[in-house]
């Protein structure tokens, strides 16, 4: 197992840090990041054992001084230059870190709290997040607000001392194990849809918060739906302020796409795994197969280079930019190509296996799970729009109703649906997860 060579000109302090980190990771006896460690866990549901292991490892990482490297000291971090995050990423890239369940909190909620939280909020939540004491989730998508995230309907109504929350969220990763969640909610429907939003820090154990698993075609329930029934959230847990919800959400979304376009893709299987499978079946010598294997090898290299670009942007002090969208799009295509080609190489073993083999169903699970990445973190179609408009400078899509109140938009939408006989409205009061939403398919329109 080899890590990346240290860059020329690395300072003595950075080199010493790298050596200490490498030794610590070696002593931790982690599984290698070659895709095999994730076999059989592609669609695994979170359980207490996995949560305990993730928290214990994060706690040990923090105690050793390797967590929150570039976070400010006042936020519980070490206040080191961005270069140290890059060193950590390089050294940890060869291992399967057992902290995936904490990724939403550390990679998405944490940066949002740092950017928009009050001093009291940062002091309360960031240190415990870095230590792995608490798990966080992201409460964004709804049955009728997936591709158009700003159309969320779940309400936060002002009451003495705080907010009363009602509504539903879907496709939430880790809700059943989370302690807290960042919820994007509608606080003022009289304003245009982007302006009448609020982001709240929700206690997932509070009265009125109900979590239900969502069964997927893999047979597992990796995601959850969350129902709010008069759940109370105090004023101290408002992030930003009323009307700042969309600004906070964009920070979360930018960091989400970087996360989805990084190691998330490689945990779904690597080119090396498919090549090994092809060799085992005697296919690697076939010219057509060699071409297909070369293509996924190149695709994986592109993802790694885009990830490196994102790291270098962070080193320069930049916020997540278009490389996050590019990486996410490349990752979703790669995962689907790897799962399909790997299953073809495995042949009948991909659809029938020895039940005593704990990893026998790995390619079947990968095939079923792979399409989800095309909608997680923003659908591929939405991400293409982001790239076209913000990277290539193409004309933006018409912003229909940008200055119209959300109440009026809903009324106009209802009239359009009623005038279309082929449309079927969801029954009043229905809790079914139906409608126009897609899992995690968030737009920034």
In contact, 26 and 94? CB cutoff 8 Å: no
In contact, 254 and 320? CB cutoff 8 Å: yes
Query: So where are the chain's domains?
Result: 15-135, 138-244, 261-390
DSSP secondary structure letters along 129-175:
HHHTSS-EEEE--BTTBSSSGGG---EEEEETTEEEEEEEEEEEETG
**Cβ atoms within 10 Å of 128's Cβ, excluding its own:** 15
Phi-psi region of 71 (alpha: psi -120 to 50; beta: other; left: phi over 0): beta
Q: Shortest CA distance to 246 belongs to which of 316, 301, 191, 324? A: 191
Whether pTM exceeds 0.75:
yes
CATH architecture entry for 15-135: Orthogonal Bundle (1.10)
Highest mean pLDDT among 6-10, 282-286, 375-379: 282-286
Sign of the Cα torsion 336, 340, 345, 349 reads positive
What was the pLDDT predicted at 147? Answer: 73
| Run of H or E including 107 | none
Higher pLDDT, 19 or 419: 19
Average pLDDT taken over every residue of the chain:
84
pLDDT tens by residue, 135-163: 999 999 999 887 788 999 999 999 999 99
CATH architecture entry for 261-390: Up-down Bundle (1.20)
What was the pLDDT predicted at 432? Answer: 40
Residues 226, 224: Cα–Cα separation, whole Å: 6
> Would you please indicate which residues are annotated as catalytic (active-site) residues?
256
In contact, 227 and 181? CB cutoff 8 Å: no
Q: Does the pLDDT of residue 58 top 60, yes or no?
A: yes
pLDDT tens by residue, 67-125: 999 999 999 999 999 889 889 988 998 888 999 899 999 999 999 999 999 999 999 99
What was the pLDDT predicted at 403? Answer: 84
Residue 170 backbone dihedrals phi, psi, to 5 degrees: -130, 165
CATH architecture entry for 138-244: Beta Barrel (2.40)
- As a whole number, mean pLDDT of residues 283-288 equals 94
Residues 243, 122: Cα–Cα separation, whole Å: 20
């Amino acid at each position: 197992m080899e890590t990346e060579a240290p860059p020329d000109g690395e300072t003595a302090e950075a080199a010493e840090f790298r050596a200490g980190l490498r030794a610590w990771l070696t002593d931790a006896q982690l599984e290698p990041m070659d895709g095999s460690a994730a076999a059989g866990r592609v669609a695994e549901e979170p359980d207490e054992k996995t949560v305990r292991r993730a928290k214990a490892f994060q706690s040990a990482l923090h105690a050793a001084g390797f967590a929150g490297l570039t976070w400010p000291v006042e936020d519980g971090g070490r206040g080191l230059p961005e270069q140290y995050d890059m060193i950590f990423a390089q050294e940890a890239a060869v291992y399967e870190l057992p902290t995936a369940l904490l990724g939403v909190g550390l990679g998405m909620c944490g940066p949002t709290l740092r950017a928009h939280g009050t001093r009291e909020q940062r002091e309360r939540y960031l240190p415990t997040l870095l230590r792995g004491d608490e798990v966080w989730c992201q409460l964004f998508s709804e049955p009728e607000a997936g591709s158009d995230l700003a159309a969320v309907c779940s309400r936060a109504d002002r009451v003495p001392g705080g907010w009363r929350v009602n509504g539903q969220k879907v496709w939430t990763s880790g809700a059943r194990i989370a302690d807290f969640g960042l919820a994007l909610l509608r606080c003022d429907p009289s304003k245009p849809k982007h302006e009448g939003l609020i982001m709240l820090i929700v206690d997932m154990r509070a009265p009125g918060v109900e979590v239900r698993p969502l069964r997927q075609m893999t047979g597992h329930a990796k995601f959850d739906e969350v129902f709010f029934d008069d759940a109370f959230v105090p004023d101290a847990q408002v992030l930003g302020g009323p009307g700042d919800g969309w600004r906070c959400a964009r920070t979360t979304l930018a960091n989400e796409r970087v996360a989805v376009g990084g190691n998330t893709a490689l945990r779904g299987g690597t080119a090396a795994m498919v090549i090994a499978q092809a060799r085992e079946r005697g296919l690697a010598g076939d010219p057509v197969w060699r071409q297909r294997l070369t293509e996924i090898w190149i695709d994986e290299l592109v993802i790694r280079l885009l990830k490196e670009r994102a790291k270098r942007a962070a080193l320069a002090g930049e916020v997540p930019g278009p490389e996050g969208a590019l990486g996410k799009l490349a990752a979703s295509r790669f995962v689907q190509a790897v799962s399909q080609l790997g299953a073809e190489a495995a042949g009948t073993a991909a659809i029938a296996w020895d039940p005593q083999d704990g990893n026998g169903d790995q390619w079947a699970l990968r095939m079923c799970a792979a399409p989800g990445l095309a909608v997680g973190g923003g659908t591929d179609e939405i991400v293409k729009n982001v790239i076209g408009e913000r990277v290539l400078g193409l004309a933006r899509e018409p912003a229909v109703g940008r200055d119209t109140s959300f109440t009026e938009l809903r009324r106009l939408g209802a009239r359009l649906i009623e005038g279309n006989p082929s449309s079927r409205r969801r029954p009043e009061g229905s809790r079914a997860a139906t409608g126009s939403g897609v899992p995690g398919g968030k737009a920034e329109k």
